[in-house]
Amino acid sequence: MRLLSALRREPLDRPPVWFMRQAGRYLPEYLEVRRRHSFQEAVRTPEVAAELTLQPIRRFGLDAAILFSDIMTPLEAMGVAVDFNPGPRLSPMTLEQVAGLPEFDVERVAFVPDALSKVRAGLSDDVALIGFAGGPITLLAYLLEGGAGKEFPALRGALYRAPELAAEALAKLGLGMRAYLSTQIAAGADVVQLFDSWAGLLPIKGFDRFAVPAARTALDGLQAPTIYFAPDAAHLLDRFGAVGATGYGVDWRLPLASAWDRLGAGWVIQGNLDPMVLLSDPVTVAFETGRVLEEAGGRPGHIFNLGHGINPATPVENVEAMVRTVRGEGS
């Protein structure tokens, strides 16, 4: 599998290509399925989740499929009720309540390994299957806030107000995510990614003290390669290595060469085309994709990806232009 070779930093004729939110609203076939199923129905119905996961593979021939799910899903296995309207909604919790959550119970999310098994059966042997979870600091942000936000004052205030209890709550979430990722690997995931969407809100000392130990707990001892992705976190790049992942995603804000300088030349880096480039036209997309490839310089350990998730308004022909360019196929 090309993705696994890149994660081993083996020389390749081109980098593997996949992209975040590749199963999504920019695809007409996705919209057709979603007209019949709500988001939560799609996630919780293995046949539907598998179909949505496979759609971009059929259309683009990507090097990896990532399970159609959500970072909030495993919280259900820890007794947390989550609704989507359209983003995640839940009752705000305290640090004490998070620290006291029950252990991860895979039976409560049995639909996830079932979906993964169905996807694996539908993939060719050279296409990797990616499972994922949310980073503990990101999950804690949602749990304390009761949903999505931008500043997450409940989280950031709690880290200063009760640091020891916050560390305890994060450790609980880290152990839960490790169990969840292990379940996905057992069901057929070749690689797992930890999405730490809000770690970039933390100052360096806060990242070192809170996000790193919890993320490391989530990834420790897993029997598969791992990727850690925290957007809007250029100030933290030189700290990423402490997380203990196999590779690290970087967003579009920093050139790849600069990211390698900050992170370290020996690391695997995933990224980092600006998703908004895909709102332009095929010629511009091909040019900007080529620019990212030039920045990577053909060095081993590069995984081509967007710097964040694909925008729902993206024209399919622009995605095709991106993939063709990575493959060196021309227009």
> Does 309 fall in a domain?
no
> Does 277 fall in a domain?
no
Does the annotation count 34 as an active-site position?
Answer: yes
> Does 226 fall in a domain?
yes
> Does 4 fall in a domain?
no
> Does 18 fall in a domain?
no
pLDDT tens figures, 318-328: 999 999 999 99
Domain that holds residue 218: 26-272
pLDDT at position 220, please? 96
Does the annotation count 114 as an active-site position?
Answer: no
> Does 136 fall in a domain?
yes
Q: How much of the chain exceeds pLDDT 90, in percent? A: 93
CA 121 to CA 128: how far, in whole Å? Answer: 12
pLDDT, the chain, mean: 96
Catalytic residue among 26, 30, 142, 248: 142
> Does 140 fall in a domain?
yes
Which helix (H) or strand (E) segment is 132 a member of? strand 128-134
Angle at 266 between CA 306 and CA 272, to 5 degrees: 10
pLDDT tops 80 at residue 330 = no
The count of structural domains within the chain is 1
pLDDT tens figures, 162-183: 999 999 999 999 999 999 999 9
Does the annotation count 26 as an active-site position?
Answer: no
Does the annotation count 178 as an active-site position?
Answer: no
Q: Tell me, what CATH number does 227's domain have?
A: 3.20.20.210
Catalytic residue among 21, 44, 178, 239: 21
* Secondary structure of residue 201 in the 3-state scheme: helix
Does the annotation count 58 as an active-site position?
Answer: no
> Does 305 fall in a domain?
no
Catalytic residue among 63, 70, 190, 196: 70
